[in-house]
Structure 1
Amino acid sequence: MADVSLVLWAAIPPLLFLGFYYCRVQFAPSWLRLVLLFIFGAISGFAALGLEWVFETVANWVVNWQNTKYSLSGIILRQLVEVGPIEEGCKLVAVVVPTCVLQRKYRLRSSSIFLFTIAVALGFTAEENWIYLFHGTASVLDRIIGTPVHAMFSAPWGYALGIYISSTMRLHQDRKLIPKAWINSVICHALVNVLSSAWGYSTPIRFLSYGLFPFLLWMFWRMEQLLRKVQGKRPTILISGYTSQHRYWQRGLVIFALILGGNAIFGLFLLAQTLSPLSPSQLFYPDILWFILSRLLINLGFAILAWLIYRYLRHSARRHYL
């Protein structure tokens, strides 16, 4: 029974997130196909796990690869050479193979291929969730927070693949976009893993972890923008200044909003982690209740300020383009 519970906790959040995107795409492929791609994504996760084990075994024969896990420079190297390329490569294969099969019978839209990519990435997430939960190396809360991350990694090459395959002309420049987007995904994948690892180091390096959630928030924004583009919608414009000075000011506001919003999410995540060992009755102790309310107010204040900056930038853009 415990194993079934682990599988449900591992699979249900990614499936709900897939349903969220499925409902937002006009002329989406059938739900059954997306579930099949989700399963392919989970299989690609196990394939990536095996390939990483083979890579580390071979690398340990040549150099002491195991020691790369104990320094920041080693973690960066491991993420760029091993983890990022293998995981993004396995997800790419899991999208390309069924897409090529379906393309022989149907004319696929770029939005369908983008959804295939999200489905595979979320299946990969479900497999990863099960591994972490089975071995007890992460909590359910940690894994729920990380549900969209693999989809955000893969969104650039999913977009590029969709544009190329759905095009009637199959332009060379569109094909060249795929490896560039894949490399971008590998770098973002590596950077997120490095920033999340920085929390375990001493103070100067530890501060890097505060860049994690703003970067994740930016990647989520990017995925949303790519979703709009594959559906033929206009991108959401935030930078609308006529002069370079005004545009620099607006870019600064965007970065500031990402820092505020990202670290508001980070603060709420840390609050939930702090409170998770407590029983429900302990949450109502006066000192603990005051701690909860103060942290909620601080982080909600940051989030509201970030939202107000976003609304100001959207209002400025609408005023300029009317």
Structure 2
Amino acid sequence: MVDLSLLLWAAIPPLLLLGYYYCRVPFAPPLLKLLIFFITGAISGILALSLEWVFETVANWFVDWQQMKRWLPGIALRQLVEIGPIEEGCKLAAVFIPTYYLQRTYRLLQSTVFLFTIAVALGFTAEENWIYLFHGTASILDRTIGMPVHAMFSAPWGYALGIYISSNTRLNRDKEFIFKAWLNSIICHSLVNVLSSAWRYSLPLGLLSYGLFPFLLWMFWRLEQLLRKVQGKPVINLVSDRTPQRRYWQRSLVLFALVLGGNAIFGLFLLARILSPLSPSKLFDSEILWFIVSRFSLNLFFGVLAWGIYRYLRHSARRRYF
């Protein structure tokens, strides 16, 4: 029997995020079409899970695939040859096939195709949430934090597909752009999953986990930049100086802000994970309260510092162009 509460926790957060992007995009397609793409994304998630099972069954005929998954290099290989290609391929098919038929009747904008991509990715996320929550392999907090990740993975090929579908003259280079963007998504998908697995290992491999949230923050920034592009808005430029030395300095500041901001979010996530099993009454114990205030303040300081660097770079870019 399906647990309705788990189903709601799996589906409602992605649907709310889809509604957020729907409200942000002018001339968005009808909400019903987006919901159809959302459901298609969930179906593509089931298909991806089935294909991964088939792949692992066949792979075990030749190598001990289960044993390989216990080591970080084996995890990386699995992500690159199995998880990334299958999941990004299923999502791409879930967007391309219905979009191909829709564009015969309607003139589709780049922003519309990009929004279809987000809808499919969030539907895929909802299906994945259900699997994790049903089997108890992840908490609601973990799945909520990772909710936009599939949309961030798929953003490059969604942008490339939008250019191809909306173009009057479809060139071979546009098809090549889709393939290159799809490969980019596979690499990013694989890297995120490898970094998220690194915490299980001892030093120095365990330190790789501190690169996860900075990388996720960068992917979120890329998603937002691509969303601006498909709407015809200018991208936000943070590296604006013309001299090589100053540009290296600004790039270093961007990297530093990503490290600070990403790990500030990571710190708050760890704090929430530590506190989630505690009853509300225990949160007001003096030792626990001091722990909460000190950890929250430290991560807030790093987050504000990262935001300050971001504002400084944006101000520098505006001053140069105006």
**TM range, normalised to the smaller chain?**
over 0.9
Residue equivalent to 1:271: 271
Residue equivalent to 1:134: 134
The yes-or-no answer on 1:247 pairing with 2:247 is yes
Residue equivalent to 2:106: 106
Q: Distance in 1 between matches of 2:157 and 2:68?
A: 28
The yes-or-no answer on 1:24 pairing with 2:24 is yes
Tell me the matched-pair count.
Answer: 322
Q: Identity of counterpart residues, as a percentage?
A: 74
Residue equivalent to 1:190: 190
The yes-or-no answer on 1:156 pairing with 2:177 is no
Q: Which amino acid aligns with 1:98?
A: P
Q: Which amino acid aligns with 1:55?
A: F
Residue equivalent to 1:57: 57
Q: Please give the secondary structure, in 2, of the residue aligned with 1:125.
A: helix
Deviation of 1:104 (Å): 1.0
Please show how residues 230-241 of structure 1 align to structure 2 within 5 Å.
Answer: 230-241=230-241
Superposition RMSD on alpha carbons, in Å? Answer: 0.8
Distance 1:2 1:279, change over 3 A: farther
Q: Distance in 1 between matches of 2:316 and 2:2?
A: 53
The yes-or-no answer on 1:321 pairing with 2:321 is yes
Q: Please give the secondary structure, in 2, of the residue aligned with 1:23.
A: helix
Q: Distance in 2 between matches of 1:161 and 1:297?
A: 43
List runs of 5+ in structure 2 lacking aligned partners: none
Q: Deviation string for 1:181-211 (max 9, x for gaps)?
A: 0000000000000000001111210100000
Q: Distance in 2 between matches of 1:255 and 1:31?
A: 38
Residue equivalent to 2:208: 208
Residue equivalent to 2:307: 307
Q: Which amino acid aligns with 1:192?
A: V
Q: Which amino acid aligns with 1:194?
A: V
Q: Distance in 1 between matches of 2:74 and 2:268?
A: 30
Q: Distance in 2 between matches of 1:198 and 1:157?
A: 27
List runs of 5+ in structure 1 lacking aligned partners: none
Q: Distance in 2 between matches of 1:248 and 1:126?
A: 40
Q: Distance in 1 between matches of 2:289 and 2:119?
A: 40
Residue equivalent to 2:176: 176
Q: Distance in 1 between matches of 2:4 and 2:20?
A: 24
Q: Distance in 2 between matches of 1:203 and 1:284?
A: 35
Q: Please give the secondary structure, in 2, of the residue aligned with 1:62.
A: coil
Residue equivalent to 1:91: 91
Deviation of 1:247 (Å): 0.2
Residue equivalent to 2:67: 67
Q: Which amino acid aligns with 1:313?
A: L
Q: Please give the secondary structure, in 2, of the residue aligned with 1:241.
A: coil
Q: Distance in 2 between matches of 1:169 and 1:104?
A: 15
Give me the TM-score of the superposition, normalised by structure 1. 0.99
Q: Distance in 2 between matches of 1:243 and 1:68?
A: 48
Deviation of 1:132 (Å): 0.2
Q: Distance in 2 between matches of 1:57 and 1:214?
A: 35
Q: Distance in 2 between matches of 1:65 and 1:296?
A: 42
Q: Distance in 1 between matches of 2:102 and 2:165?
A: 11
Deviation of 1:297 (Å): 0.4
Q: Distance in 2 between matches of 1:321 and 1:163?
A: 28
Q: Which amino acid aligns with 2:119?
A: A
Q: Deviation string for 1:77-107 (max 9, x for gaps)?
A: 0000000000000000000011011111101
Deviation of 1:171 (Å): 2.3
Q: Deviation string for 1:221-246 (max 9, x for gaps)?
A: 00000000001110001000120000
Give me the TM-score of the superposition, normalised by structure 2. 0.99
Residue equivalent to 2:42: 42
Residue equivalent to 1:166: 166
Deviation of 1:2 (Å): 7.0
Q: Distance in 2 between matches of 1:59 and 1:15?
A: 36
Q: Please give the secondary structure, in 2, of the residue aligned with 1:197.
A: helix
Distance 1:303 1:286, change over 3 A: same
Q: Please give the secondary structure, in 2, of the residue aligned with 1:104.
A: coil
Q: Which amino acid aligns with 1:23?
A: C
Q: Distance in 1 between matches of 2:41 and 2:296?
A: 36
Q: Distance in 2 between matches of 1:150 and 1:17?
A: 12
Deviation of 1:154 (Å): 0.2
- Mean alpha-carbon deviation: is it higher for 172-181 or for 127-136? 172-181
Deviation of 1:278 (Å): 0.5
Q: Distance in 1 between matches of 2:288 and 2:66?
A: 42
Q: Distance in 2 between matches of 1:175 and 1:78?
A: 27
Q: Which amino acid aligns with 2:136?
A: G
Q: Give structure 1 regions of 4+ aligned residues with deviation exceeding 6 angstroms.
A: none
Q: Which amino acid aligns with 2:11?
A: A
